[in-house]
Amino acid sequence: MSTLNNEWWRGATIYQIYPRSFADSNGDGIGDLRGVTAHLDYVASLGVDGVWLSPFFPSPMRDFGYDVLDYRGVDPMFGSLADFDALLARAHALGLKLIIDQVWSHTAIEHAWFEESRRSRDNAKADWYVWADAKPDGSPPSNWQSWMGCPTWTWDPRRQQYYLHNFLAQMPDLNLHCVAVQDALLDVGRFWLERGVDGFRLDTANYYCHDRRFTDNPPQPPELRGDVPAAMQQHLYNICQPETLGFLERVRELTDCFDARMTVAEIGSANNLERMLEYTRGTHRLHTAYSFVLLGDQPKPNDLVQLMLPWQESQGAAHEQAWPSWALSNHDAVRVATRWAKGNPNRAKQLLALLSCLRGTVFLYQGEELGLTQSEVPFEQIQDPFGKAHWPRNKGRDGCRTPMPWQSNALHAGFTSGTPWLPVDAAQQANGVDLQECDPDSSLNFARRLLALRRAHPALRLGRFEPLQADDKVLVFLRRCGEDGVLCAFNLSDDAVSASLPSALATGAQPLTLGSAERTDLQLDLGPWAAMIFPVRTRAHNETDPEG
């Protein structure tokens, strides 16, 4: 197999499917694997390279599959292993890669490993989870706080010790300092790789290891202090420990035993960019990583450039081929059409264009291609434990997880014939797939044109990122691979702006434009929230550089 095929993930676009909300095949109101399989033709029609499938494993579903009960099975609500195999086969038949979540930082409290670990301090799995004695006054071993709104320690009367959980109390943390735990997890990974999956999205990868001395986290500086306990401290000791790197190298060693497989880490920390670089540096760690750096507030154009530049040196000694991934929406974040675009459909299209032009691997969340905004879910219908605990200051994650609107006039938008687990958003249903398919100017068809452009140009998939102009309003950059180049210009403001162009850029095909955008020989005039993307011919920056 060629190196190019082995590195299919480099510059790829991967479509995230949250199976509970994608398509229900049996009328129970919950999306399932057969529903996913039935709609893979639609996914392939977008022009993406692969699918990231969120958890489908047996689970008590307190955190909707991220509390795993059995790493090698399929929860009956989603189907069976045979259904998974059929999904995988169909994806491959359509030319789609399939990567699946692996949740290796914690398990469900009902997992057999934890049941054994909690029985005594000297059983075979006694050290498979993080246990610690109480302080002399009975208080927990450290001051660590969970983002789920509770301390990270819970007392277990059977062992007469506290156990660590960086999330819900019913999701105890595995002890990845224990080699036997690493071995067991790698066996899980091998099970799925041998079944044919193309890689893993590693959930909360920077949470794999903790400080074994249980050092207290220091407080946040007053100007950074949040309004929940977890935001009142710097998470220096419960996450992001250096021992994580050794396990990541073992994961890479495993995947390298199989052709054309990949790993992508999810990272959530105060030092997102630093961790992304660290976890993907060289050829012995993970293939790529994404973080929450673009899943929060919108950065200014010049700040966005600063996020891109470290990866530009990836062929040098400093970063040794580190490769990024980028996402603007996912199942844990307010949809970008609301968060950044403020519900404006043209701005949402512009953000699709921006994402498709970034250097790295791109993740597109289901419905993002439709320009879907965040749903308002009434409190009495909230399912997310985080939303229940933090309402109304934070309404949780259900608003980005509502059912996919397939048909504008069908019951429950064609998602299910039963009662959906979350309510269908009427505003989303009005932007259903069936209506957008018929509209050449729809967000859906615009997304298809963007992804076709990305696939057609090595410059967009693999090329260098060269900023030409970046300030508080405008972002203009060149993507270049050899003589193939694509110039990308975005006005991220309410004002009309102009941008200067370098001379000697030969324009290629017809530009893809959004909003009011005009080009003269040396200038671009961009109306509010406009974009222009056009191929150019360039001379190689460095003939010895494989990226040109």
**How far is it, in rounded angstroms, from Cα 160 to Cα 320?**
47
User: What percent of the chain clears pLDDT 90, i.e. is strictly above it?
Assistant: 89
> What are 510-542's pLDDT values in tens digits?
789 999 999 887 889 999 999 999 998 876 554
Give the tens place of pLDDT for each residue, 127-160.
999 999 999 999 999 999 998 889 999 999 999 9
From 24, 32, 266, 278, the catalytic residue? 266
3-state helix, strand, coil split of the chain in percent (to 5) is 30, 20, 50
User: Which one is catalytic: 24, 203, 278, 384?
Assistant: 203
Report residue 276: phi and psi, to 5°.
Answer: -60, -45
Mean pLDDT, rounded, for 65-69: 98
Phi-psi category of residue 321: left, alpha or beta, with phi > 0 → left and psi -120 to 50 → alpha: left
**pLDDT score recorded for residue 546:** 41
Q: Is 266 a catalytic residue?
A: yes
Look at residue 547 in the predicted model and tell me its pLDDT.
Answer: 45
Taking the C-alpha atoms of residue 20 and residue 30, their distance in angstroms, rounded to an integer, is 5
CA distance 338 to 443: 15
Whether omega for the bond prior to residue 392 falls within 30 degrees of 0, making it cis, is: yes
pLDDT per residue as tens digits for the range 431-448: 999 999 999 999 999 999
Q: Does the pLDDT value for residue 313 go beyond 80?
A: no
Active site residue 203: yes
- Which tokens in the block code for residue 191? 């099970």
Average pLDDT over residues 266-289: 96
Judge contact between 418 and 29, C-beta under 8 A: yes
pLDDT in tens, 380-431: 999 999 999 889 989 999 999 999 999 999 999 999 999 999 999 999 999 9
Query: Residue 184 has which token pair?
Result: 């067991």
Token digits of residue 354: 């921006």
pLDDT exceeds cutoff 70 at 4: no
Superfamily of domain 464-537: Golgi alpha-mannosidase II (2.60.40.1180)
| Residue-level pLDDT at 522 | 83
Query: Which three-class secondary structure state does DSSP give residue 477?
Result: strand
What value does the mean pLDDT of the chain take? 94
Average of pLDDT values for 244-265?
A: 98
Structural Rg of the chain based on CA atoms: 24
Fold topology of 3-108+176-452: TIM Barrel (3.20.20)
| Pairing outcome for strands 464-470 and 474-481 | antiparallel
The secondary structure of residue 121, as a DSSP letter, is: S
pLDDT of 456-486, one tens digit each? Answer: 999 999 999 999 999 999 999 999 999 999 9
Q: How confident is the model at residue 176 (pLDDT cuts 50, 70, 90)?
A: very high
Tens of pLDDT, residues 329-371: 999 999 999 999 999 999 999 999 999 999 999 999 999 999 9
Domain boundaries, the chain: 3-108+176-452, 464-537
Residue 485 CA to its chain's centroid (Å): 27
